[in-house]
Amino acid sequence: MANYRMMVNDVIKKADILLEVVDARFPDETRNGDVERNIKYSKKPFIIVLNKCDLVSKETLEKAKARLSKIAPTVFVSSKNRFGTTMLRHKILEVANMRGHDIQVGCLGYPNTGKSSVINGVAGKNKASTSSISGYTRGVQLVNAGSHIQFIDTPGVIPFDDNDEYKQGLLGVKDTTHLQDPIGVALKIIEKMCSENKTALESSYNVTIGGENEEDSYEILELIGRQCNFLKKKGKVDDSRTAIKIVNDWQKGKILL
Ligand SMILES: Nc1nc2c(ncn2[C@@H]2O[C@H](COP(=O)(O)OP(=O)(O)OP(=O)(O)O)[C@@H](O)[C@H]2O)c(=O)[nH]1
Ligand SMILES: [Mg+2]
């Protein structure tokens, strides 16, 4: 754990500018207060990058951007679709405001938010390795992105006190093989979807939510299980199997918000 703090501070020290990469589906949950405080303390410029914006509606994105812009310049990108990456490159050059020598860009954020993918998006090539399993980038890596930009890719970091399993499941920090309670996580996903975008949940699983009792997230999970034909003996829904599917789909970006 002490290593984590050392690594973050070391990257902040080396970098001319920092990117905090957050997941556009949960910008607040994936912002790291520790990291932001240390960046502020260093007085170095930083940009908040709302990545995975392909998974979020434009309206929600604009709201998040307006809110976060009060903290730091904020851009949204989809490194998957290479959307906004040119804009980010310009923003880096603009905010760093340096001439004459290479710009070192430190890339920090929670595990699995897409730090390495954002770097690849800006570099225009797959130079940093990525994976749907979090904890993929180990150790600090330098990536040349051309036109005087060099990235410092880092392993994802989580604030010390944050070991809530539900959050780790939602954010994809732990995959279904490492979660102790995938059903609990699936229920959280269902709750989040129902409060923010029920229609997207319905169309992902080809179900209609709204019948009696279907305000209850467990009932919705059963409905989805039945639709997927995940049944046990006597026609009972296999809730674990359904939960694992939901969590996997969510983590792989198959459910839009
Ligand atoms: N839908 C979508 N998925 C993305 C996007 N960017 C990254 N991903 C996916 O998110 C997962 C994590 O991406 P990485 O770039 O490895 O994330 P990271 O932050 O470097 O992860 P660690 O190094 O493990 O901390 C991969 O499955 C990517 O394909 C995006 O813009 N949209
Ligand atoms: Mg990485």
Per residue in 66-101, pLDDT (tens digit) is 999 999 999 999 999 999 999 999 999 999 988 778
CA of 136 to the centre of ligand 2 (A): 5
Q: How many residues does the chain have?
A: 257
Structure tokens at 1: 């754990």
Is 153:113 a contact under the CB 8 Å cutoff? no
Q: Is the pLDDT of residue 156 over 60?
A: yes
* Ligand 1 atom at shortest distance from the alpha carbon of 79: 31
pTM, entire model: 0.80
pLDDT at 5: 77
Q: Which ligand is nearest to the CA of 81?
A: 1
Using the predicted structure, report yes or no on whether residue 2 has a pLDDT greater than 60: no
% of residues, the chain, pLDDT over 90 = 59
Domain ranges across the chain: 2-153, 165-251
Q: Degrees (nearest 5) of the Cα angle 109, 10, 143?
A: 65
Distance 239 CA to ligand 2 centre (A): 32
pLDDT of residue 240: 95
Which-ligand-closest: CA of 248? 1
For residue 244, how far is its CA from the centre of ligand 1 (angstroms)?
20
pLDDT of residue 1 exceeding 70, the answer is no
Ligand closest to 77 (CA) is 1
Fold that domain 165-251 belongs to in CATH: Conserved Hypothetical Protein Ylqf; Chain: A; domain 2 (1.10.1580)
The Cα 26–Cα 53 span in angstroms is 11
Percent of the chain with pLDDT over 70: 93
pLDDT (tens digit per residue) in 160-199: 566 678 888 888 888 899 998 999 999 999 998 888 888 8
Q: What local confidence, expressed as pLDDT, does residue 214 receive? A: 60
What is the per-residue pLDDT across 101-125, written as a single tens digit (0 to 9) for each?
889 999 999 989 999 999 999 998 7
Protein residues whose CB sits closer than 6 Å to any atom of ligand 1: 51-52, 54-55, 78-80, 111-117, 130-132, 134-137, 155-156, 253
pLDDT at 212: 58
Tokens 């330098």 belong to 142
Tokens of 84: 């906004």
Q: Whose CA is nearest to atom 2 of ligand 1?
A: 52
Output the CA 130–ligand 1 centroid distance in Å. 6
Q: Identify the pLDDT of residue 247.
A: 96
Ligand 2 centroid vs 256 CA: distance in angstroms?
22
Query: How close is the Cα of 138 to the center of ligand 1, in Å?
Result: 14
Task: Give me the CATH code for the 2-153 domain, please.
Answer: 3.40.50.300
Task: Kindly state the average pLDDT of the residues 203-220.
Answer: 82
Which of 26, 61, 131 has most ligand 1 atoms within 8 Å of CB, for mutation?
A: 131
